[in-house]
């Protein structure tokens, strides 16, 4: 076999190895994304600490009543609490 054919075969093998590994990376990432999406749907209410403590989901808290804390500049929730618990709403 001449040198040119040998190089061509080697190059083809390298390309095939690259494409195969790229395929495995892409497919592996797709499976990870799907697995993570499914695991997000499987979260039950018994794992939600916010629901256990406050009786409602974190997304259901009303932050429009008091505005922002003057001490830590975070939103004050409907119970008068902010990130620093400074009680700026009182």
pLDDT at 40: 54
- Tokens 């804390």 belong to 69
CA distances, 68 to each of 15, 23, 59, 75 (Å) = 58, 49, 17, 4
Q: Which has the minimum average pLDDT: 10-14, 26-30, 47-51?
A: 26-30
Pull the structure tokens for residue 59: 């997304």
Q: What is the arithmetic mean of pLDDT over 8-28?
A: 78
- Output phi, psi for 40, to 5 deg: -65, -35
pTM for this entry:
0.37
Structural domain boundaries, residue 87: 47-90
**Cβ(75)–Cβ(67) under 8 Å?**
yes
More confident site: 40 or 49: 49
Q: Band of the pLDDT at 46, cuts 50, 70, 90?
A: low
Does the pLDDT of residue 90 top 70, yes or no?
no
- The reply to whether 36 and 65 lie within a common domain is no
Count of domains for the chain: 2
- The reply to whether 20 and 56 lie within a common domain is no
Instruction: Outline where 1-90 has alpha helix (H).
Output: 3-41, 49-54
């Amino acid at each position: 076999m001449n040198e040119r054919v040998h190089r061509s075969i080697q190059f083809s093998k390298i390309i095939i190895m690259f494409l195969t590994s790229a395929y495995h990376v892409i497919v592996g990432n797709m499976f990870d994304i799907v697995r993570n999406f499914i695991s997000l749907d499987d979260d039950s209410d018994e794992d939600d600490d916010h629901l256990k403590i406050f009786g409602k989901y974190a997304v259901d808290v009303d932050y429009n009543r008091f505005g922002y804390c003057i001490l830590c500049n975070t939103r004050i929730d409907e119970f008068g609490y902010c990130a620093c618990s400074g009680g700026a709403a009182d």
